[in-house]
Structure 1
Amino acid sequence: MCKEYRMTASRVTFVTGKKVIIFLQDIIRFSKITEWERCRVNRPSFLHGALILMISGLVTRIMGFVYRVFLTRIIGAEGMGLFQIVFPILGLVLTLVTAGLPLAISKLVAEAIAQNDKARVKRIMGVSVGVVSVMTVILTVLMYTCRGFIEHHWLSDARAFPTYLTMIPLVSIIAISSLYRGYFQGLQDMSPTAWGQILEQTVRIISIWILAAYFIQYSLEYAAAAAMMGMVLGEFCGMLFLVASQRRRGRLDSVLPNGATRSRETVRQTLHAMGEIALPVTLSKLIWSVLFAAEPILVMRALKAAGFTTSTATALYGQYSGMAIPLLVFPTVFTGSLATNLVPSVSEAVAASERFRVRIRLSQSFTATAMVAFPSAVVLTMFAGPLTHYIYKEDSIGPILAVMAPFMFLLCLQAPLTGILQGLNKAGVAMVNSIIGGVLKLLLIYLLASKPTMGILGVSMATAASFTVSCLLNLWFVVHYVGFTIRLQALTRVALASCGMFMYMQVITWHKTPLPFGSMMLAILGGFILYFGLLCALRVLTTRNIRRVPRVGPWLARLVARMPFAV
C-alpha cells in the first residue's frame, strides 16, 4: 500500500436572493487509498458499459431477427400468433415474481459500492433472493394448478395451450437470472450480461432449428410449443452463465476486499429503500402487464367485431406483435443499453451529491438517441413494405410498420428518460406515465381496431399514440427535476443529416416499383454512409468526442479526421 494523492470536493454555497449557486472547490490532501478505491477509479466508465450492452444488444437483436424469420417461415403468421398470445401471461407472472427487485438491486448496490458498504450489499442480495424464491414457488404452482381456467377463459385461442404449459419453467429461470443481472448492473460490469444474452440467443436459434422444424409435421400448436421450449433452453443456458460469472468475477470479497463489515444502515432502512424503488416499479409493471395481457384479448375481439374470423384475427395479431413490432423496436437496443446504465450511474451521482453529472448523462443520452432514432425512422418509414417483404415474405406487414415508424425518436427516448427518473428515486412518476400510455392504448384499440376500414392498422395507431404520450410526460418531469435544457442546435444538425440521407435514398429508388432487393440495400447502406459523413461535416461527430469511445475510439477518430470538413 502506498500513499497517493486523491481529489475530494468541498461544497461552498452562496445564497443570492432566491438563487442558490453551488460550486465545487478541489482540495488536495494526503490519504491512504485502498485497493477497492483504486479499482473504483479505474473501473469501466458509463460510456464503456453502455457500449458493451449496445454491441451485445445489437448482436442479439440481429440473432433474434434470424430466429424470428426462421420461425415465421416454419410456423407462419398464425403460428406466430399462437406463440405471442401467451407472452402477456408470462409478463404478468414475472412482474409478481421479481417485484421490481432487479432495478432496486442495481440502484442500491451501486450506492453501497460507492459507500464501500459490503454488509449492505449482502443484505440487499439476501432479502432479494428470499422474496424471489418464495414468489417463484407460489406462482409456478399456481400457474400449473390453474391451467384449466387459463385454457378456457384466458387464452383467446385454445391452440396456444401447449405453448402455455411449455412456458411455465421460464418463470423460475428468468427470475434467478434477473437477480444476477441486477447485481452485475449495480457493479456497472455489463460484460456478463452481454455474453449471457449472446449465449442465450445462440442456444435458442439452434433449438428452434431442431425442435420447431421437427414438430411442425405433427401440428401447428406443437410447433409453437417447441419454439417456446427453445426459449426455455436458451434462458437456462444464460442463467448458468451468469451464475458461473458471479463465482468467477463477481464475488463480493473481490469487489469490496476492504469493505465495511458493519453497515451504517439498519435492516429496516434497507428494506424501506428497496421498497421505495421496488413497489412503484412493481405496481407499474403489474398494471402494465395486466394491460398487456388484456391487449390480445381486446385486439381479437375488436378484429372479430370488424368482421374477421378467429383464424384471420390470430394471423393479423401475429403480424403486428411477432413481425412488425420486432422491426420497430430494433433501434431501441441502443437506447435501452443507455437506460440500463443510467439507473446505477444516476444513483451513484445523486449519492455523491453531484447532480451536474445527471444533466451530463441526460445530454449525452438525448443526442445519442437522436443520432440513432432519426435515420431509423427514415429507413423504416420509406422501406416498410420492401423490408417486410424480403424478411418475412409477407406483403401485408409493411403498412402496419409504416404507421408507427415516424414516431421512432419518442419510442427510443422513452427508456433513457425512465432510467433517469428511476435513478432520481422518481420511479412512481415513471409508473404513472406508463399507465397513462397503456390505458390510452387500450382505449384507442377498442375505438379504432373495431372499424372494418382500419382493423389491425388501428392497433398500430394506438401503439404509436401510447408511447408518444408516455415519452412526453417523462420528458416534462425530467426537465422539471433536473433542470435540463434541450440542445436544439445538436438536434437540428442530426435532423439535417437525416434529411440528406432521405433525399439520397429517394433518388436511388426513384421510379423503381417493385423495389429490387439490390436497389434497396444500395439505398440503405449508401444512405447510412452519407449520414455518417454529414454528421462529421456538421460537427456532431468530432475526433474529440469519438476518441472517448472505449477501445475503438482512437481508430474511429482517425477515420473521422479523414472526412471532409471534420474536426
Structure 2
Amino acid sequence: MKSMNQSTMLFKGAFILTIAALLTKILSAFYRIPFQNIVGDIGFYIYQQVYPFYGIAIVLSTTGFPVVISKLYAEQMEKGDDEKSRLLLFVSFVYLQVIGFLLFLILYGGADHIAGWMKDPQLAVLFKVISIVFLIFPFVSIIRGYYQAIGEMTPTALSQVGEQTIRVLTIIFLSSLFMEKGFSLYFVGGGAMVGSITGSIVASLILFMFLQKRKEWKGMAPSKGIFQNNSLEVKRIVKMLTFQGLMICLSGMLMIFMQLADSLNLFSLLVSSGTEREAAKSLKGVFDRGQPLIQLGTVAAASMALTLVPLISRERLATKSDNLTRKIQVAIKVSIVIGLGASSGLWAIIEPTNIMLFENGNGSDVLGVLSFVVLFTSVISTIIAIMQGLGNLLYPALAVMLIFPLKYLLNMMFIPLLGTMGAAVSSLMALGLVTFCLVFKFKKMIAVPLFTYRILGIVLTAAITMVVVLKGYLYVTNPIIAMLESDRLGAALQALSAVLLGGSLFLVIIIRGNVFLEEDLREFPFGSKLIHLLSRKDKE
C-alpha cells in the first residue's frame, strides 16, 4: 500500500511539474509577439542577441541541478541520515554559488568582449544586466531540489509560473514605457532584461515563503562541524552534481545553443558580406520571429510526448519489456506526427501567420524553412527524454553539445551565400545531423523498430494532403481577404481558419489511417474523444 501511495505521489508530482513547464513555455513563446510589435525588428534583434544567456540560467535553475539534488536528498532521507542530508544541501549550495559567481564574472567582466565578438558594442550593457541572474539561481535550484525530494511539487511549479509571469509583465511594461519616453532601443532592451531579474527574485520569494510558512529552515541549516569525517561524501556530492547535473542541464539546451550560435555570428556575417549594419539588425530581428513560432509548435508536440515519458519510466522500473517497448514506439510516433503536422502546416500558411503576428510579411520564405525546425526538435526532445528515462544521460548531452559547433560552422558556410536563408538552412542541417546521431544510438539501445514504413507513408500522405488543401484555400480566399480594410485582420482570419481546416484534415487522416491504436489514444489528453474518429471495426 505504501508503495502504491508513493507511486501515486510520484506521478501526481510529475504531472504538476509538466503542466508548470508547459505553461512557462507557452508564456515564453507568446510574450515575444507583443514585445516585437512594441520594439520592432531591430529592438527584437537586440533582445534576442542576449536572450540565450538568460536561457542558460533558466535551464540551470529548473532542470539538472534540482533533479539531482532531489534524488540525492531523497536517498539520504530513506537512510534516515539527517546530518548527510544537511551536508548535501550545504555542499550543493556552495557548489552552485561558485558556478553562478563564475558565470556572473564572465558575463559582467566580459560584456565588452562578448559584444565585440557579436560586432555590436552597444549590447554590453544588456550582458551586464543579465549577469545578475546567475547570482540568484543557486537559491532557486537548492530549494526546488529540496521540495522535489520530499514530494512537494507545488512550490517548484508555482515558482516557475510566477517567475515567468512577472518576467513577461516586466518586459511588456518597461518596453512600452521606455518606447513611449523615446529612449534608445538598446536602453529598451536593457529594460526588458530587467524582467529576468524581477522574475528570478519573485521565484526566490515564492520558495522562501513556503520555507517560512512551514518552518523548514531548521531542517536545511548546516550543523556545526558538518565537514568533519565527511570528506568522501563531499567528493561524491560534487561528482554527482558535476556529472549528472551538468549532463541533464546540457541536454535541455538544444534551442539555446542554436540561438547562441546565431547571436554570435549571424549579424556579423551579414555585415561582413556587405549588408549595411542597420539593415543587418533588421534582418536578424525578422529571422528571430521564428523563435516564438518554433516554441509554440514544439510545445504542442512536447505536451503529448511528455505525458508518455513518466509511463515509460514506470514500465522500465516494473521490468515490463513489452509495455515499455510499445510506449516508446507511441512516444516516437507522437513526436513525428505532431512535429511533421505542425511544421508542414506552418510552412503552408506562413505568410498570413507572419502578418497576423508581426504586422508584415517580411522574411516569410525564411520563416517557412525555419518552421521545419519544429519537426526535428520534437523528435530530438522526445528521444532525449526517453533515453534519460532509460538511464542514459551522457550520450544525449554530448549530442546536444554537438549542435553549437555544427550550427556555428554551417552559418559561416551558408550565410555569406544565402543571407538569413542560409541561417535557416544551417539550422535544419545541424538538427538533422544531431537527430541522426540520436536515432542511431537509440535504435541500438532498444533494438526494435521505431515505426513501420506504412505508418510513415500515412503521416507523409496526411502532411502533403494538408499542404495542398491549405495552399488551395489561401489561393481561393486571397481575393476575399484583399477586400478588407485591414491587412492584419484579413491575415488573422485567413490564418486562424486555415489552422482549423488543416489541423482537422490532418488529424482525421492520421486517426482513420490507424497510425495509433485505440489503447494508444486512451493515454493521450482528450484521447477518449479521438477514439470516435476510428472506424467501427478498429474500435471493436
Q: Share of identical aligned residues, percent?
A: 21
Contact 2:33–2:292 at 8 Å: present in 1 too? no
Counterpart CA distance in 1 for 2:41 and 2:177 is: 18
| TM-score (normalizing by structure 1) | 0.76
Matched, 1:522 2:497: yes
Contact 1:107–1:186 at 8 Å: present in 2 too? yes
Aligned mate of 1:398, from 351, 364, 388:
364
C-alpha displacement of 1:43: 2.6
Counterpart CA distance in 2 for 1:485 and 1:563 is: 24
Contact 2:167–2:195 at 8 Å: present in 1 too? yes
| Corresponding residue SS for 2:371 | helix
Residue pairs, 1:412-431, within 5 angstroms: 412-431=378-397
Which residue does the alignment assign to 1:27? none
Mean Cα deviation higher: 195-204 or 407-416: 195-204
Which residue does the alignment assign to 1:218? 183
Structure 2 vs 1, CA of residues 215 and 461 (structure 1 numbering), >3 Å: closer, same or farther? same
Aligned mate of 1:364, from 330, 333, 345:
330
Structure 2 vs 1, CA of residues 407 and 314 (structure 1 numbering), >3 Å: closer, same or farther? closer
C-alpha displacement of 1:77: 0.9
Residue pairs, 1:381-392, within 5 angstroms: 381-392=347-358
Mean Cα deviation higher: 497-506 or 162-171: 497-506
C-alpha displacement of 1:423: 4.0
Contact 1:103–1:277 at 8 Å: present in 2 too? no
Mean Cα deviation higher: 406-415 or 381-390: 406-415
| Corresponding residue SS for 1:426 | coil
Aligned mate of 1:236, from 201, 205, 208:
201
Q: Across the two proteins, how many residue pairs are aligned to each other?
A: 512
Counterpart CA distance in 2 for 1:187 and 1:500 is: 50
| Corresponding residue SS for 2:275 | coil
Matched, 1:140 2:104: yes
| Corresponding residue SS for 1:486 | coil
Structure 2 vs 1, CA of residues 413 and 177 (structure 1 numbering), >3 Å: closer, same or farther? farther
C-alpha displacement of 1:310: 1.8
Which residue does the alignment assign to 1:160? 123
Contact 1:328–1:405 at 8 Å: present in 2 too? yes
Which residue does the alignment assign to 1:315? 282
Which residue does the alignment assign to 2:225? none
| Letter aligned with residue 33 of structure 2 | V
Structure 2 vs 1, CA of residues 545 and 347 (structure 1 numbering), >3 Å: closer, same or farther? closer
Counterpart CA distance in 2 for 1:400 and 1:358 is: 40
Which residue does the alignment assign to 1:86? 50
C-alpha displacement of 1:267: 5.9
| Letter aligned with residue 157 of structure 1 | D
C-alpha distance after superposition, 1:246-278 (max 9, x if no partner): 777998999xxxxxxxxxx96655554444423
Which residue does the alignment assign to 1:171? 134
| Corresponding residue SS for 1:501 | helix
Q: Between Structure 1 and Structure 2, which shows a larger proportion of strand residues?
A: 1
- Unaligned runs of 5+ residues in structure 2 are 220-231, 482-489
- Unaligned runs of 5+ residues in structure 1 are 1-32, 255-264
| Letter aligned with residue 96 of structure 2 | V
Structure 2 vs 1, CA of residues 491 and 326 (structure 1 numbering), >3 Å: closer, same or farther? same
Residue pairs, 1:80-119, within 5 angstroms: 80-90=44-54, 101-105=65-69, 112=75, 116-117=78-79, 119=81
Structure 2 vs 1, CA of residues 268 and 173 (structure 1 numbering), >3 Å: closer, same or farther? closer
Structure 2 vs 1, CA of residues 462 and 251 (structure 1 numbering), >3 Å: closer, same or farther? farther
Mean Cα deviation higher: 245-254 or 463-472: 245-254
C-alpha distance after superposition, 1:267-305 (max 9, x if no partner): 655554444423545778899978864542321221112
C-alpha displacement of 1:71: 1.2
Q: Between Structure 1 and Structure 2, which shows a larger proportion of helix residues?
A: 2
Counterpart CA distance in 1 for 2:519 and 2:49 is: 48
Counterpart CA distance in 1 for 2:501 and 2:152 is: 36
Contact 1:85–1:156 at 8 Å: present in 2 too? no
Contact 1:449–1:456 at 8 Å: present in 2 too? yes
Structure 2 vs 1, CA of residues 287 and 237 (structure 1 numbering), >3 Å: closer, same or farther? closer
Contact 1:50–1:338 at 8 Å: present in 2 too? no
Contact 1:167–1:232 at 8 Å: present in 2 too? yes
Counterpart CA distance in 1 for 2:462 and 2:211 is: 43
Contact 1:54–1:333 at 8 Å: present in 2 too? no
| Corresponding residue SS for 1:523 | helix
C-alpha displacement of 1:443: 1.5
Contact 2:258–2:427 at 8 Å: present in 1 too? no
Contact 1:88–1:293 at 8 Å: present in 2 too? yes
Counterpart CA distance in 2 for 1:315 and 1:369 is: 33
Contact 2:305–2:335 at 8 Å: present in 1 too? no
Counterpart CA distance in 2 for 1:362 and 1:39 is: 25
Which residue does the alignment assign to 2:172? 209
Matched, 1:557 2:520: no
Contact 1:304–1:450 at 8 Å: present in 2 too? no
Counterpart CA distance in 1 for 2:374 and 2:253 is: 25
Counterpart CA distance in 1 for 2:282 and 2:316 is: 48
| Corresponding residue SS for 1:447 | helix
Aligned mate of 2:267, from 293, 300, 310:
300
Matched, 1:438 2:372: no
Mean Cα deviation higher: 233-242 or 465-474: 233-242
| Corresponding residue SS for 1:231 | helix
| Corresponding residue SS for 1:467 | helix
CA RMSD after TM alignment:
4.2
Structure 2 vs 1, CA of residues 245 and 444 (structure 1 numbering), >3 Å: closer, same or farther? same
| Corresponding residue SS for 1:437 | helix
Aligned mate of 2:244, from 267, 270, 277:
277
C-alpha displacement of 1:475: 1.3
Aligned mate of 2:449, from 479, 485, 498:
485
Structure 2 vs 1, CA of residues 183 and 487 (structure 1 numbering), >3 Å: closer, same or farther? farther
